[in-house]
Each structure stands twice: as C-alpha cells, then as structure tokens.
C-alpha cells in the first residue's frame, strides 16, 4: 500500500515567501467577483422589482459583500437612481442599501 504524504512533502522544498504568496493567491481566488449583467437580465430584474414594489412582496437578492456573497430576503422600499442603489427592508438585517453593481441575482422566494 502506498502511503503518500500529500502536500507535506512539497512544503520542505518551497521558500516561505512562495508559501505565503500561494496562500494569498488562494484567498484572492476564493473571493466572489461581481458579474457582468446583460440587457435582458436588467429588463427581467426591472420587471421583478417593479412588480414586487407594487404588491409589497418579498424578494431574494444575492449580492457581493466584502469579497463574498450575501443572500438577503426582504421588501424593496426605494430605488435611488442617482446613487445607483436599492434600499431593502429585511427582517434580519433591518434596512440595507445595496449598490446595483453588487447584485448577482434577484428572484422571488418559493
């Protein structure tokens, strides 16, 4: 039976600077980057938001926050086109402002 030590055998041959750089690279890669949204997706989101605002329905919004992604459930209170932000009232987080460019998905909860 072969007993392999995995990454342990390679760390002895690497300089500490290289190990540090690899760890930093792994952290950077694990962060969620904002997605580029096309025209059709924007139209669909506009429709969902306007319908939810008129009816006072809950929406599920996934957005990037500090390198990771955050999911929040709430009702839309206001859209600020000048600042490019969306104000959402959530039971857990309270009132939060979400920038348009950080939004990844908008959907109605099932």
pLDDT in tens, 60-103: 999 888 777 889 999 999 888 899 899 999 888 899 999 888 88
Span 40-67, average pLDDT: 88
pLDDT of 23 reads: 84
Do 96 and 88 form a contact (C-beta atoms < 8 A)?
A: yes
15, 48, 83, 86 from 54: Cα distances, Å: 60, 10, 22, 15
| 28 compared with 75, residue with greater pLDDT | 75
Question: What stretch of H or E contains 40?
Answer: helix 39-55
Residue 31 has pLDDT above 70, yes or no: no
Q: What CATH number is given for 39-107 in this structure?
A: 2.30.30.520
Span 9-25, average pLDDT: 79
pLDDT of 9 reads: 62
Question: What stretch of H or E contains 97?
Answer: strand 94-99
3-state secondary structure of 11: helix
């Amino acid at each position: 039976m072969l007993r392999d030590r995995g990454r342990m055998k390679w760390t002895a041959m690497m300089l500490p600077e290289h190990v540090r750089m690899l760890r930093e690279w792994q952290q950077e890669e694990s962060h969620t980057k904002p997605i580029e949204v096309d025209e059709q997706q924007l139209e669909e989101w506009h429709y969902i938001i306007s319908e939810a605002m008129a009816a006072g329905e809950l929406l599920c919004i996934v957005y990037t926050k500090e390198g990771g992604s955050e999911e929040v459930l709430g009702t839309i209170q206001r859209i600020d086109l000048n600042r490019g932000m969306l104000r959402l009232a959530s039971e857990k987080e309270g009132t939060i402002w979400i920038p348009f460019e950080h939004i990844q998905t908008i959907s109605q909860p099932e």
